[in-house]
Each structure stands twice: as C-alpha cells, then as structure tokens.
Structure 1
Amino acid sequence: MNFHEKMQSLRKKQGMSQEKLAEIVGVSRQAVSKWESGQSDPDKDKLIVFSDLFGVSTDKLIRDELSIEVERHQENDPGTYYDAWRYEFKSKRTLFGLPLVHINLGPGFCVAKGILAIGTVSIGALSIGGISLGGLCLGGLSAGFLGFGGIVLGLILAVGGLSIGALAIGGLAIGVLSLGGLSVGVFSIGGTAIASHVAIGGYAEGHIAIGQSPHGVIRIVTHTKDLSDLTSVQVRKLILKEYPGLWKPMIDWLTFFFR
C-alpha cells in the first residue's frame, strides 16, 4: 500500500472528511484530494502533522509494506535477507566456522560459503551453483572430491560434459579410469578410447586395445558395437596376463560391458 492509499484509509478510519482534514492541516480540500489521488505529495511539515494526527510514524506513512516487512524479518532473523531480486539465508548454527547452510541467490556474483552452499558461486561440503567448489559439487563448473556438471574437476569422481578425475565419466572424459564419447586415461572405455594400459571402444588405442578399430601392442578386434562377441572371462584373462597384480575392482569395471 503506497502513501496515497494509506492516507485515504487512515482518514476514513478516523471518520474524517477531506474538508475536515484540510481544515486541521491548514490547506484546501483540493490539496487533500490531490494527495489522496497521487497527483501531488505533501511536504515534510505536513507529514509530521499526519503522523501525530493518525498515530503512526512518518516512516510507516511513506514506506511501502514490503520494505517494512523485509526490515521486520531481518530484525527477527538477521541471517536472512531478501528483496525483489535477491535472497540470502545464512544459518546461525556453524560447523568448523562455517554456517551449516548458506544460500545466496540473485543476479550478479553471489557467493555462498557453508557446509551446504547454494549460490552463483558456492563453496562448501555440499555446493550447488554456477561455479561450485568443495566436497560434493553440482554446477556448470564444478571442482571437488565428487563433481557433477558441465565442466567438472573431481578428485575422486567427475561426471559432466567435460570431466577430469580419478574416475571420469562424460562426453570428454580424462582420468585414471575414464568412460565417455572421447575417453583418455590409464584405463579407458568409450567411442574413442585412448589409454596407456587398456583401451576399449569403437576406436581403441592402448597397450591392450579392444574394439572395432584397435591399435596397440595387443589388439582384439570386435565385430559388434555392443562387444557381444567377447566374454568377460576372455577379457579378464587377457588383462590379468599383462597386468597380474591389477586391482580386482578395476578388472571388474573393465569387463563390465562384456557378456
């Protein structure tokens, strides 16, 4: 409710006509009519008279209800801020000096730092945002222990359009174990797979190369796109012959796609 609407409402609550209000304030009825219709505004001295007459502060008279509510909410919970374009919440509880939850959303560069962080830029154990950094990260650009997003750097797991990590899964995947359209790593599986040890894909290049077009020291040609002409037992024996001390879960992962 704006000033003009408030003035009319307060006058009517007092059972007062425009003529009576004009007489008290010392102006013409036409002046009061213009104030209430929004055609003009009273000067500061008149606002003070209205404040005393209606028993409300000048601040409440001239400010809209949204501004007053935002201020009141902040007084009750100083960790929260919002307006028409931005919202920010920061929990009072902390862990390791960081708020448990920090949400900072809005246009521009909004940074959120917390155990759970959500913002344009987010830094936290669990972070969600355009740019996210931390433990478990979800964002357009993500970097952390576990990362999911468009461009991802993950210390342990990276899943995204472009992913780089120990275990990388994506359109372009680079990692110790990589799975993707273009896969590069120590052990790689993909449409195009390039690896130092084992490469499995349509085009495969590695020490052990398995695919429709393999290139390597040991080459196994498959004649089906789904690799169904080879069994996991055959592939497992081949890998163990070349890498007898290889970690069993790694072998399981490499032979997962075979029958």
Structure 2
Amino acid sequence: MPNDAPSKPKPRKKRAPRTFGREKAHALYAALAEDRPEPRTELNFTSPYTLVVAVALSAQATDVGVNKATAKLFAVADTPEKMLALGEEGVAEYIRTIGLWRNKAKNVIALSQMLLDGYGGVVPDTRDELERLPGVGRKTANVVLNEAFGVPTIAVDTHVFRVANRTGLAPGKTPEQVEAGLERATPDEYKHGAHHWLILHGRYVCKAQTPECWHCAIADLCRHKPKTPDPATVSRLGPRR
C-alpha cells in the first residue's frame, strides 16, 4: 500500500547570527585602536598568580573595588604559599568590600592549594588547566591567557557582550555565541587587543543605560539606532516640538 500521508517538512537549520563583513570589522577595530592605542586590563597585578586572583575576585564587582582590596591583600600575599598562610578567614578580612566575598575567599584558598599541589605553584598556560582551578571560568581563563601569556583570546563579559550585540559586530544570545562570533569577525591583527578595546569601549562609551554615541569612535559603523545625542547640544537647542 502506498503511503499517501504528507511528508513532514525538514526542520530548517538555524543560521548563525550575521556578523560584520571583513572590511567593516577591520575599520571598527582600527577606529578603536586609534582611540586607545595600548589597551590593557584595569585590574592591578604583578604576576600571573595575582592576575588569576584579581580576575576571579572581579566577578560581579568593579575593577576599582577589586584594586582597593587587592592593594592590601597582595602586599602580604602575592604567592600561593603566602595566601595559604593567611587562610580563608584571613583572605576574607581583606576582601569584605567585594561582592560574594565569602565564596571568593574560599575559592582563592582552594585555587592556591591546587596550584601548589598540581603545578608547583606556577599558573598553567592552557585554558583547560586554568578552568580546573576553583572560581576560574572561561572568561577568567581567557583574560589570564591574553594578559599573562599573550594568547589572542577574547573574553566575553557584560560589556563585551553588550558592545558586540549593540554594534552588530557579533550578535548572540549567550556569551559563548558572542565569543564564537567575535573569533570569526575579528581580524587576526586585532585579536590580542580585541577584548580590551571592547570592554573599555563598553565601560566608558557604549554604556548600558545611555550609550554616549556623540563621542563614539565607531558611531558611523554601529548598527544601534537611534544614536544618543550630546546632552549639551540638546540642552542648548531645547526639546523637539
């Protein structure tokens, strides 16, 4: 007997979000590079170890707040051995002003112990090994690889996520999608600084509530509309009728 039942249509494959073309992406990064020629993390650190700790502490906290706490913490404990000597309660006393400080103190002690037990106190230089450390996720691992070891990784935090989506450079619904999009869209010569350019741009210009489009170096390339006008100009001209 022939089967006259209509065949079910094949589900369409989801297309990856559209990113910038190569030339436009190159122009965007060139403009950001001209605006900030030497971008770097604003977290203070003196070694790969203090960088790992600082980035782990920065989750749901500002770099300014972390720097205030680590200035005193690193003065007495800038190695895994010294951190373990402080103990969890000792570390907690230095970082009480940082969000989630209890859990972070626990993680700092645990990752310090793991570094001593498994790596001779030396911070590993691979993502897989870094992500095994307590309190270290993909974003933290990418920052450490980029800043401490010169690997051209792109860490996606809230600022990078916002800028990538708002500009249209690498739209995505998750940090993983945005990271993959940025890896595809970012020209090789800009990959090492990409994370820093995007995070600093998001922190100081492309702000969450009110992007300051009137002094944005990439406003002519950005897909965000409408562009936010200069408050000084609006005040001088008065409200629109």
Larger Rg: 1
Same fold (TM over 0.5): no
Q: Which structure's residues are more often strand, by fraction?
A: 1
Higher-RCO chain (CA-CA 8 Å, sequence separation at least 6): 2
Q: Structure 1 length as normaliser, TM-score?
A: 0.20
Q: Which structure's residues are more often helix, by fraction?
A: 2
